[in-house]
Amino acid sequence: MARVCPVCGRSSSEVPFVGGLCRDCYIREVGVARLPGRIHFVYCQYCGAYRYQGGWNRGLDTVEDTLVEYAHMVLSRRLRPTRDVEEAWVEDVRLERPFHGPGIYRLLVTVAGRSREGVGLTQELVVEAKVDAAVCPACTARITERGYEAIVQVRGSGGRLSDRLRGEVLDFIGGLDGRLREAIIKIDEVREGVDLYVLDHTSARMIAGKLRAAFMGRTIDTYKLVGRRPDGKRRGRLTISVRIPDIEPGQVLLVGGREALYLGRSRRGGLFVDMRSGTHFELDAETLWERGFRPHPGGAPERRVMLLSRSGGTYVFLDADTGYQRVLEYPGEYVHVYTGRLVEGGLYRAFLAGRRLYIIGTVEETGY
Ligand SMILES: [Zn+2]
Ligand SMILES: [Zn+2]
């Protein structure tokens, strides 16, 4: 039997019904869902973070996007479907006027729902947003350069961090993900290396761990009590020293007392060649530090050699350091080439270890 809408008089054969009313009258008289009339949004004027449930969270690219996202989240949580609506949700949130800083905004909110009988409903509601600007704790710490709880000190294995590594470390820090990057309130380039002032212990440990993994480093933590917080809890300052091996690909080292050619960083740590046996080996950072490493001591027999000829599996070089007087002849299997392709007449940096010859670089033509 057809139902008749008591408000507009239309029948259920003409329009879908929700409860005792036609859909249009239900939406107009009852509504799809209840929303709070006003929400409060506080954002950091420096970094765009926003407050939520007592904490600060990272914002999106623009404050306007963050406000819309925040409204969507808060309104979704606080939305209550009306009596004959089975479920309802926030479909869209828009600002009536473009964002221009703190103030009162009208949000146009589209809510959608479904009645118990499966009829779809949508309605546009207006919610007021009170928007305030503030300064988040991270930015307060950055601005005052106080409030850090940890220092990460990056140093080289030989003490001072080389300029090359310093550059790589700074690039790496610049590429950290936003939350970690923002926990660093100050980067201090000191003579010995780089000091990072970090808001909290957890972030400092994560940053130090990432540096350790990326640079085959070793970390040492020291913890010092520096007083008590206003709430009586102990306050400690954590210092993490990150030591980075100051070694370069193509460099000859003593690793655990053995001559080793460092080829570069690998997935698990570093890749080396044992120069006596000619075999490759990989060491993770921990093992490298455990075995100990240092540059090959002074007088390392690095030479400059010129390839004279290669035929029948035999290489013939001239020793450039003796005025091309000495001839060095090697069977192919004892020549290890770690630089591009050898060409006859080319001048190379070479390293002699036992019966083996390692070609570890090209000598720039200039100057010879
Ligand atoms: Zn009606
Ligand atoms: Zn901030």
Residue-wise DSSP of 172-215: HHHTS-HHHHHHEEEEEEETTEEEEEESSHHHHHHHHHHHHHHH
Q: Separation of 126 CA from ligand 1 center, angstroms?
A: 23
Instruction: Determine the pLDDT at residue 365.
Output: 61
Contacts 24+ apart (CB under 8 A), 88-94: 88/32, 88/33, 88/112, 88/113, 88/114, 89/113, 91/122, 93/68, 94/68
* Confidence label for 46 from pLDDT (cuts 50, 70 and 90): confident
Q: Separation of 208 CA from ligand 2 center, angstroms?
A: 23
Most confident listed range (152-156, 269-273, 292-296, 332-336) = 152-156
Q: Separation of 136 CA from ligand 2 center, angstroms?
A: 4
**For residue 354, is pLDDT > 70?**
yes
Q: Separation of 112 CA from ligand 1 center, angstroms?
A: 19
In this prediction the pTM is: 0.60
Q: With pLDDT > 90 as the criterion, what percentage of the chain qualifies?
A: 60
pLDDT in tens, 100-157: 999 999 999 999 999 999 999 999 999 999 999 999 888 888 777 777 889 999 999 9
- State how far the alpha carbon of 87 is from the alpha carbons of 22, 70, 74, 113, in Å: 18, 21, 17, 5
Q: What residues does each domain of the chain span?
A: 31-136, 145-244, 252-295, 302-362
Dig out the tokens for 214 from the structure: 């990326």
* Confidence label for 300 from pLDDT (cuts 50, 70 and 90): low
Q: How many CA atoms lie within 13 A of 151 on its CB side?
A: 18
Instruction: Determine the pLDDT at residue 268.
Output: 81
Q: Separation of 303 CA from ligand 2 center, angstroms?
A: 56
In whole angstroms, what is the distance from residue 321 CA to residue 298 CA?
Answer: 17
pLDDT in tens, 81-92: 999 999 999 999
Q: Separation of 225 CA from ligand 1 center, angstroms?
A: 72
**For residue 342, is pLDDT > 60?**
yes
pLDDT in tens, 147-192: 788 999 999 998 889 999 999 999 999 999 888 988 898 899 999 9
Q: Separation of 142 CA from ligand 2 center, angstroms?
A: 9
CB neighbour list of residue 175: distance below 8 Å, 6 or more residues apart: none
Instruction: Determine the pLDDT at residue 301.
Output: 66
Q: Separation of 137 CA from ligand 2 center, angstroms?
A: 7
Q: Residue 113: which of 75, 77, 80 has the closest Cα?
A: 80
Ligand nearest to the CA of 22: 1
Q: Separation of 106 CA from ligand 1 center, angstroms?
A: 29
* Confidence label for 368 from pLDDT (cuts 50, 70 and 90): very low
Cβ atoms < 10 Å from Cβ of 36 = 13
- State how far the alpha carbon of 262 is from the alpha carbons of 253, 265, 282, 359, in Å: 7, 9, 10, 13
In contact, 68 and 110? CB cutoff 8 Å:
no
Q: What is the CATH number of domain 302-362?
A: 2.40.50
Instruction: Determine the pLDDT at residue 324.
Output: 86
Region 31-37 average pLDDT: 96
Instruction: Determine the pLDDT at residue 298.
Output: 60
Q: What is the mean pLDDT of the chain?
A: 90
Region 298-320 average pLDDT: 84
In contact, 139 and 184? CB cutoff 8 Å:
no
Instruction: Determine the pLDDT at residue 249.
Output: 83
Instruction: Report which secondary-structure segment, H or E, holds 139.
Output: helix 137-144
3-state helix, strand, coil in the chain (%, to 5): 20, 45, 35
**For residue 241, is pLDDT > 90?**
yes
